[in-house]
Structure formats: C-alpha cells, structure tokens
Amino acid sequence: MHNYGASHLAASWRTVRKNTVQIAEEIPADKYGTQVANETMTVGQMLAHMACATHWVVQAHFVEKLSDITGEKFGAWFGEIGAAAGALTSKDAIVAALNQNGESFATKLEAMTPAQLDEMVTLPGPGSKSRFEMLLGVKEHEMHHRAQLMQLERMIGITPHLTRARQAR
C-alpha cells in the first residue's frame, strides 16, 4: 500500500539512533546526572530509557507477533524496560546498550515483509494501528527524547552536533 517499506524504516531508524549515540558520547559522564527540573529524567536516565525502549516493540511485533495488545502486556513490558534501564548505571554501559539494541532493532525492521507491515494490531482502549505505524512511532519517540537531550546539551554548554553541522554548511 505504501512505497516506504522495511528497508526505509531500518535506514531511518539507524540515522536517528546514530544521532542519539553521538549526543550520548558528547555529553560528559559527569553531566549524566543533569536534569531540567525535579521529577524529570536525568540525562543518563533518559538515555538509558531510550536504549531499552524498543523492548516492548520487539516483544509485541517480533517475538510474540501479537495482533491484540492488552494493557496488562504493556504494563509488564514497561516494567521490564524500567528494570533494564535502571541497570544501566554508567555512560559506557548506556552507550553500549544504545548501539547494541539500536542495531538489533534495525535488523528486525529490515526483515519485515510488506504484508507484516500492513497487519492491523488492536490496542488497549478503542482503536488499532498498522504494524507500520507502530514501528514508525518508535522513531518518533526517540526523536522526541533526542530533542530534549539537545536542549540539555545547550544547558550544559554544548552546541548540538546537528546545529554545528548546519552552521558549518
């Protein structure tokens, strides 16, 4: 139905994750505790969350291959994400997880067939989405947090690499 397929999803995901990793590498380890306000994630917590956030999607679409996702499933997966993210306590561990989990996810995306991408998945509450839309949402989630990290970079005196590249052009 669409010309934007699995290989495009994987390539765009790799680009987004590459930019996230660059930010993670550029922020000094001693700034991983920085946060914008009380009750917000620190730099390290946000990066650890991003490193682990693909877990639920992998479980839903590649491991269990569900066509109906329940609230209970979401709750269990998000508990697992929180535990995995909480175990990432150093910059090196976070960057390694970002790289490893990001490439693992991209490889799984590449293997999706057009028919699989078009499958509809029922979600908690009213409604459903195609696997394609749900998988695209993973990239959108990463970009949302990456924008927050770019603001945090500016707060600690780092000009984000994408801004530096634009300025150089």
Average pLDDT for the chain? 94
Give the mean pLDDT of 34-62.
95
pLDDT tens-digit series, residues 100-122: 999 999 999 999 999 999 999 99
pLDDT at 126 (0 to 100)? 75
Q: Is residue 154 part of a domain?
A: yes
Q: Is residue 122 part of a domain?
A: yes
Q: Is residue 1 part of a domain?
A: no
CA proximity to 65, closest of 7, 9, 111, 12: 111
Give the mean pLDDT of 3-20.
94
Q: How many domains does the chain have?
A: 1
Please report where in the chains the tokens 């946000």 appear, as a residue.
46
> What is the domain range of residue 37?
6-168
CATH for 138: 1.20.120.450
Give the mean pLDDT of 70-89.
94
